[in-house]
Amino acid sequence: MSKVLITGGAGFIGSHIADALVGQEHEVHVLDDLSSGNRGNVPDAATLHVMDVRSPEAAALFEAEEFEILVHHAAQMDVRKSVADPRFDADVNIGGLLNLLEAGRSNGLRKVVFASTGGAIYGEPEYVPQDEQHTLKPLSPYGIAKLSSEKYLFFYKEQYGIEYVALRYGNIYGPRQNPHGEAGVVAIFAERLLAGEPTVINGDGKQTRDYVFVQDVVSANVAAMSHKGSGIFNVGTSVETDVNTLFRVLRDLVDPDLPEAHGPGKPGEQKRSVLSYAHTQEALGWQPTVDVRNGLEATLEWFRNRREAVGADV
């Protein structure tokens, strides 16, 4: 078993990964500044360190603990915020990673599993589904930072022998997703529908994404940890789902009589995104197991149970 640090491990995706790695009896540490993560998401068997990935304290943690594997999910993840403040986005998403890599390279770090992005790196598709050979056309500082991070990981492999696996995610959804940020339309729709609040679809709702369930993402991370060598792999379903369909499935599970409303579209929003997982299946032995309908049902049930547990005012 390995000594693993999961950054962002109190958040949506990272906490599910922490659960899985604890279950496999790895020694799991979580680094999270709790700006969007929740202390309650961290499994009891994991050690939580509340700090910023950019901080000297985070670098010192590598010196003290000598982590073997870094699973890096801490990020500034709001695409619109990256456009509004590119320097902040780069500071967190590039500077934070470099802070940890510099500390890790002289303290026993041997592998990084990195949360990259599919849609924001590839841009509008020239063909579908988009594979790892697709032209890279990031149109936001967020996408540029993720691509830059992949290049830095390649450098640290070549220069210092630190292996890496960059996972280019589709649109991840599932239990524990934060419905109060810009990311996570499934969580936003689920919470508002259950509360009986107006639910607005941006634009015509025909924009498509590749929605991948969080437990499938967890299994991709587990496969990446045991992969021999380095590489870049898509984590998606190769299925396009438009926002209208997403809303209607959730709406019908809550109350088919609830209205469908559309508002202005978001300027510059990508129209299509769908990822091929063929290379990931071949190299990592991974494939998605949860289709969108079953995943939405499970996600909605989690939000419903949370509301019942803590009352309607959540």
Give the separation between CA 243 and CA 207, rounded to whole angstroms: 6
Q: Which of 142, 169, 173, 211 is catalytic?
A: 142
How many Å apart are CA 215 and CA 263, to the nearest integer?
32
**Catalytic annotation present for 127:** no
Which two tokens mark 235? 């984590």
Rg, Å, the chain Cα set: 19
Burial of 55 (0-12, 13-18, 19+ CB in 10 A): middle
Residue 43, number of CB atoms within 10 A of its CB? 16
Alpha-carbon gap, residue 226 to 110, rounded angstroms: 12
Q: Biggest alpha carbon distance in the chain?
A: 60
Q: Which residue reads 């988009």 in tokens?
A: 130
Phi, psi of 78 (to 5 degrees): -90, 110
Those residues whose C-beta lies under 8 Å from the C-beta of residue 133, and which sit 6 or more positions away, are none
Task: Tell me which residues are annotated as active site.
Answer: 142
